[in-house]
Amino acid sequence: MTERPALNWWMPPLLAVQFLTRLPVPGLRGLTAEQARYGLSRSVIWFPLVGALVGLATAAVLVGSAHIWPRAIAVIVALVVEARLTGAFHEDAVADFCDAFGGGHDVESTQRIMKDSRIGSYGALGLMLAVGLRAALLIALPQDLVLVALVASACFGRLLAVAVMALVAPAATQVDGLAKDVGGRTGFSDLFLALVSATPALGFFVYFQPIGALLTLGFSSLFLLWFRKLLLRRLRGTTGDCLGFAAYAGQLILLLASLAVAGI
């Protein structure tokens, strides 16, 4: 049995912040490569909480901007600031995923396109539609729900990525990839702990929109069934780009469910 590297309890949450954002994180420079790799695998339980904090930052910018400009402009400004905060981490994954699964026709071609850093027509169109849909949903949501839904969706997206880690092993080609380092050791116990860390943000959403929460659960369950089958057929596992795509899809699923209920 491989001995686990020694880590202080506060290192995994800080590694989650470092991994999901571009914020400078002190106290991690002394980690060895093995400690950092193991710490990242333990940090996944904090992904939903970090996502909620990113959502709070985006919501704060949205509130401040809405005092100066119309809602549509405020939403765009908030998304620009969020992209800078996260380094457009998940948006990049959406583009790569769409390129690979749109342009690839078998396992080999899908893997080859996903490794290509260039963006193609599928990636450009997929990214434009995904970001455009998210912006449109934030513009269309009622004033009294948009902030709660924004924070909850940012949290839920990262939780959905952890669910994919627990359901689908990294692809065999991911020898040193993000999916291998971050999600290679993720199990259902980690998914449960991630759900616990998501409770504050998702709890508010359940309180304000219980029907929306049920719709989100139903839609996301269908997405996971489809996504798992797709990944196993086309990649024989998951990659970092697939996890990022799942995180962005989770945000859209919750926002779509929230708006559907608000429109009733």
Average pLDDT per consecutive 10 residues, the chain (264 residues; last block may be shorter):
65 91 84 80 94 98 97 98 96 96 90 88 97 98 96 98 95 62 77 96 96 98 98 93 97 98 81
The confidence score (pLDDT) of residue 143 equals 92
Range of the domain at 64: 44-262
**What number of CA atoms fall less than 13 Å from residue 205's CA on the CB side?**
31
Flag whether 2 is in a domain.
Answer: no
Flag whether 209 is in a domain.
Answer: yes
Flag whether 59 is in a domain.
Answer: yes
Count: domains in the chain: 1
Flag whether 51 is in a domain.
Answer: yes
The confidence score (pLDDT) of residue 3 equals 59
The confidence score (pLDDT) of residue 176 equals 52
Flag whether 203 is in a domain.
Answer: yes
Flag whether 15 is in a domain.
Answer: no
Flag whether 119 is in a domain.
Answer: yes
Flag whether 27 is in a domain.
Answer: no
Do the Cβ atoms of 142 and 170 come closer than 8 Å? no
The confidence score (pLDDT) of residue 29 equals 75
The confidence score (pLDDT) of residue 227 equals 98
The confidence score (pLDDT) of residue 174 equals 54
Phi, psi of 26 (to 5 degrees): -75, 160
The confidence score (pLDDT) of residue 117 equals 82
